[in-house]
Structure 1
Amino acid sequence: MFYIDQTTPSFINARDEHYTNVRYVIKKKLLGKRFTEAHPKGLDKRIDEVTGIHSTVAAFLNDETNLKDLLIGTPDVLNQFKKRFISKKAIASIKALIRYDAFIDKSADKTFGFYNGYHLAENLGMQTCIYCNRLYTHTIITENREFIARPTFDHWFPQSSYPLLALSFYNLVPSCNVCNSSIKGASPLALKDIFHPYLRHPDTDKLLSFKFSYTLEDHLAAKSKIISGNEFTNNSIKAMKLKELYSGHLDEIRELIYLKKAYSASYINSLNSILKLTLSTDEIYRLAFGVFLDDEHLSKRPLSKLKKDVLAELGIIP
């Protein structure tokens, strides 16, 4: 589980492009010819007005402040929208205007005017699952713009229960299929109790704090364990089934223990001279163990946090 850095230019661009494109589609579907703004990508794109929209839904989405809060409001803001509309007619209108199925359609020009889930995933650039860090979540788009692969998007607030939030930027968490479908699914979770990658709680006892470790009789019988720093983290680990997921990665721990025997400190320190290259400390350990040292880079490779924590406990890295 990693918090996503929301200060980078790429992240801000991803958020703003999502807002610009999805806002345009919703307004065009609401107002038709009465909405005269140019397409955000400069395209001559026809998007038909949806008729019969519930008046309260139309009034809410036509208010620019409401629409912006809905599309790029923080998780705390979205939490306030969960029960905004409950009547069957209002919900039917929302589902006609806010269509996640169209957003993830590979034929991006069908509804969203050459912007879809692949573009959002590409803009976010998450390389491993933000929840488990076990699997790659690369976005693959060919030079001819053929959509091949991308992470799934977990609706932290399930779209089945809260269709109004189906296209909210901070409710679309890039994740692997296992965490999205098999672990979290449509389970409702409380923001105050469980980790959200876009929300750092102000209370220190509700900040994510954990490390991987192991139990050991001999290196062939090593088992993983996770040490939690507080109850909030412990609840998050339980909700995301991290202990169960990482029980399948015992071989990686056993290999690191074996490498401890094979790689002495002097060997690590002499890698530069052996290879006749000038390498940074981070590059040396990445070469030897396939692990990043800096926390900010851990999400770039699967199992990076597991490996770093175990290597630190073994005394191989500082």
Structure 2
Amino acid sequence: MIYIDFDKNILDKYHKIIRCWFLRKFAGGKTHKNGYHCGNDKCEICSKSIHKVNNIPEAAVDFFKNNIDTLIIGNPSQLIKLYKEYVKLGIDDSGDIICDFFVKTGYTNWFQDEFAKDFLSDLNINTCIYCNRNYTLDILYSHTRAELDHWFPKDKFPILALSLHNFIPSCHSCNHIKGNGDKTLKRILKNENLSKEEIQQWWENVLESMIHPHDKNENENFTFTYEYDKSLNSLSVKLNINPLSKKVSTTLEFNKILEIYNAHANFELKDLYDLRKKYSDTFLNIIENNFDGIMKKEEAYRIIFGIETNEKDYHKRPFSKFKFDIIEELKKGN
């Protein structure tokens, strides 16, 4: 998994868009002459006709309006705290009114249709945050290969469906693997009989068990390594993880990182291993010594291996962290 940090200008842009949408839905106003208007006549939200939502309990509307900025741009810890505060209100949502508003009306029918592609383009993240093996680049104007995964699942935390730090650019495969997390959680906890209440409780405390992509402190606290049999017919990917970093282990297991990379071992890993054995230290040492000043190490790795070596740039090319970790180990002569 790759650490991501949204650019402030991007956050400000979509904070404004989502904020205006919420407040116009709560206050109503088919035109800017009544209901809510941000004061900017060029606002693409406030200049449009938007119907007021009438079926949300008043207590819920007041809560969302009073906490609107945290709801939209709060960090992961703030979001889960806000959700727990909302639950304490005890608002009856037996008809799934609030879920429909946030998930169906807000995210699926509005943001996903009108702004998801622009949001992904503005983020300019080229590969899946979870696996870093698939590109997530645009193909056509109306479609994108990237998907926005909700790190806090929409079915469990519907009011976070439009929270920006809950949007994680991912490939279809990883988004499908994660799903709402129930099956994976049962596998990790080795308990197929977990109740819905137990699963929900685990998710409400998930930041104690897993690392969020916006959590810089522990995000890259592991390295890829490898092992092989004596015949060299079988190479497999391994992970070096700090034994004390249980959150890292759970996160990698949850996203099936080891299984994903072992599926590529006979391709990506074998090529690197063969390079080390065929060329001994010579080739790698030339790269390490910057081609006698011809180019920088980062440029050499990009041209020869097709990867980025700086952590902040891992997202730009597939397999960057994986290949960089393996190459660094190969250079040690292992």
TM-score by length of 1: 0.82
Q: Deviations over 1:55-102 (max 9, x none)?
A: 112212333xx1001000111111012241441168514533562112
**Alignment match, 1:257:** 273
Aligned pairs, number: 293
Q: Is the 8 A contact 1:13 1:123 kept in 2?
A: no
**Alignment match, 1:3:** 3
Inter-CA distance 215–276: structure 2 relative to 1 (3 Å threshold): closer
Aligned identity (percent) is 28
**Alignment match, 1:111:** none
Q: Deviations over 1:237-288 (max 9, x none)?
A: 11111111111111111111111134455446668xxx99942221112222
CA shift at 1:208, angstroms?
A: 4.1
**Alignment match, 2:227:** 215
Q: Aligned partners of 1:128, 1:280: CA distance in 2, in Å? A: 24
1:1-318 matches, within 5 Å, as: 1-6=1-6, 11-31=7-27, 32=29, 33-37=34-38, 38=40, 40-41=43-44, 44-63=47-66, 66-83=67-84, 84-85=86-87, 86-88=91-93, 91-93=96-98, 95-96=100-101, 99-106=106-113, 108=114, 116-140=115-139, 146-187=141-182, 189=203, 190-200=206-216, 208-217=220-229, 218-229=231-242, 230-250=245-265, 251-263=267-279, 265-267=281-283, 278-315=294-331
Q: Aligned partners of 2:77, 2:45: CA distance in 1, in Å? A: 33
CA shift at 1:316, angstroms?
A: 7.5
Q: Deviations over 1:3-55 (max 9, x none)?
A: 1134xxxx112211111001111111111222132353487321122223311
CA shift at 1:119, angstroms?
A: 1.4
The one-letter code matched in structure 2 to 1:20 is: K
Q: Aligned partners of 1:316, 1:287: CA distance in 2, in Å? A: 22
Inter-CA distance 292–207: structure 2 relative to 1 (3 Å threshold): closer
SS of residue matched to 2:208 = coil
Q: Aligned partners of 1:5, 1:100: CA distance in 2, in Å? A: 22
**Where in structure 2 are there 5+ consecutive unaligned residues?**
183-199
Inter-CA distance 140–240: structure 2 relative to 1 (3 Å threshold): same
Q: Aligned partners of 2:181, 2:109: CA distance in 1, in Å? A: 20
Q: Is the 8 A contact 2:307 2:318 kept in 1?
A: no
Q: Superposition RMSD on alpha carbons, in Å?
A: 2.8
Q: Is the 8 A contact 1:211 1:226 kept in 2?
A: yes
CA shift at 1:170, angstroms?
A: 0.7
Inter-CA distance 62–231: structure 2 relative to 1 (3 Å threshold): closer
The one-letter code matched in structure 1 to 2:320 is: S
Higher deviation after alignment, 156-165 or 89-98? 89-98
Q: Aligned partners of 2:57, 2:45: CA distance in 1, in Å? A: 30
TM-score by length of 2: 0.79
Q: Is the 8 A contact 1:20 1:40 kept in 2?
A: no
Q: Aligned partners of 1:180, 1:269: CA distance in 2, in Å? A: 39
**Where in structure 1 are there 5+ consecutive unaligned residues?**
109-115
